[in-house]
Amino acid sequence: MSTVLAIEGLGVELGGRLALDGVDLTVEAGELVGLVGPNGAGKTTLLRSVLGLVRARAGRVTVAGAPARAGRAAVGYVPQRHEFTWDFPISVEDAVMTGRTGRLGLLRRPRVADWHVVGEALDRVRLTELRRRPVGELSGGQRQRVLVARALAVDPKILLLDEPFTGLDMPTQELLGELFAALAREIAVLMATHDLAAAVYGCDRLALLNRTLVAVGTPDELRDRRVWMETFQVGERSHLLRTLGLASPTTTVGV
């Protein structure tokens, strides 16, 4: 495997507060890495650093061997669903085409080759039959797949997912989990998520983040409850540890 994303000693300050400190992380081609941590841990800030949207006070980020801003074309970004205007009168395939705006420019019309790329992206997320449907008529899971297709339309080397399971029912989460696992066999995928079950059972590796990187490893390697307690700042009686199957056998959790 080859390294697609390399983050070395990354430090970011936002509003006078240290949002990230000394973060080291790599993501290889062909793997799905889950980025997990509590609210305010810096997950979205890390994704924005990869996109070159925030300035680092220390360290560096390289994408496909290039600095973050120069490597932006190699990144497909899937934001949280609320960041897209779903009531805009646009079809599914036109929404996916907006992902290629950076390559086309604002005034240049899509060519046949561009529509071919959009068609391939829709096929990969299983939305071809809905390509003419207005985005406002889609379900939550279908909308999430539109955003994934839009990110794939740039033919990225790495896909960044920001909380892709939020607000979705379990069958839809499972469908998306299977989709992300399939995509990770083709490109690198870095997924920030609060869904610990999806991360533990669906990712090749996990990166536990709370401003700094507490631990990185496969789910099997991260069975020490202390690293989860440090990451989420919880005690041994936490329901989080029970959810992960890491609670102490002698620990009784009160009602």
Tell me: the pLDDT tens digits for 76-98?
Answer: 999 988 778 888 889 999 999 99
For the stretch 179-228, pLDDT in tens is 999 999 999 999 999 999 889 999 999 999 999 999 999 999 999 999 99
Please state, in angstroms and rounded to a whole number, the distance separating the CA atoms of residues 238 and 246.
10
Q: Is pLDDT larger for residue 167 or for residue 131?
A: 131
Mean pLDDT, rounded, of the chain:
91
DSSP 91: B
pLDDT greater than 50 at residue 163: yes
The token pair at 99 is 């992902």
**Burial track 29-44 (b if 16+ CB lie within 10 A, e otherwise):** bebbbbbbbeeebbbb
Q: Is pLDDT larger for residue 250 or for residue 119?
A: 119
Locate all alpha helices (DSSP H) within 35-186, ordered by sequence: 43-50, 92-97, 101-104, 112-124, 140-152, 170-184
The pTM of this model reads: 0.91
pLDDT score for 139 = 92
pLDDT score for 207 = 98
pLDDT score for 105 = 59
DSSP 226: H
* In 15-57, beta strands by DSSP E: 17-28, 32-36
Fold exhibited by the domain 3-231: Rossmann fold (3.40.50)
**Burial track 212-246 (b if 16+ CB lie within 10 A, e otherwise):** bbbbbeebeebeebebbbebbeeeeebebbeebeb
End-to-end Cα distance, the chain: 47
Residue whose structure tokens are 């036109």: 94
**Which are the contacts of 151, defined by CB distance < 8 A and separation ≥ 6?**
76, 77, 78, 99, 159, 160
Q: Cβ distance 187 to 29 under 8 Å?
A: yes
Banded pLDDT at 255 (limits 50, 70, 90)? very low
pLDDT greater than 80 at residue 129: yes
What's the average model confidence in pLDDT over 147-156? 94
The token pair at 45 is 């800030």
Banded pLDDT at 101 (limits 50, 70, 90)? confident
Could you give the strand order of the β-sheet that contains 58-63, starting from the edge strand earlier in sequence?
Answer: 17-28, 3-14, 58-63, 66-67
DSSP 223: -
Among candidate residues 118, 74, 79, 122, the one with its CA nearest the CA of residue 97: 118
